[in-house]
Amino acid sequence: MTLASRALAQLATWPDLRQAAPSCGLGQALSSTQGEIVHFHSERDVDLRLTDRAVRRFAKDFGNSGAIRIVPGSQWVTLRLDAASDVDLLLTLVSVALQAPQMWPDPADRPVAGCNDQRGAGFVKADLGAF
């Protein structure tokens, strides 16, 4: 079992999340009542949607982690799951993502479009058929 499949299985049990087809068309996604929250694009790469304010709030901490990539102008951060601690980080950030719209709403109230997979995050795409 890969780290991503383990994280997906665990997150799929959370009552505020449900499995969904990703709007970007690649991999698997989980949604909340606020919309898509996480996309599993490969056995190691996950995009997570946060508000702009939440990304800015945590940007310094994200910069200190080799597991997280921020794409300028995106409400999505990309996590690379290389170790069990990266899964723990993902679970924590999904919890933040579920609360972020209430804590740090987007002042422009812009629609969420795409994810980092469509914004050149630089990670290799992979089919999750066996995932």
Query: Is residue 129, in this structure, part of any structural domain at all?
Result: no
75-124: pLDDT as tens digits:
888 899 999 999 998 999 999 888 866 544 455 554 455 667 644 434 33
Q: What does the pLDDT read at residue 117?
A: 60
Domain of 19, in residue numbers: 3-118
Query: Is residue 24, in this structure, part of any structural domain at all?
Result: yes
Query: Is residue 131, in this structure, part of any structural domain at all?
Result: no
How many distinct structural domains can be found in the chain?
1
Query: Could you tell me the CATH number of the domain that includes residue 107?
Result: 3.90.1150
Neighbours of 112 (CB within 10 A): 16
Q: What is the pTM of this model?
A: 0.76
Query: Is residue 127, in this structure, part of any structural domain at all?
Result: no
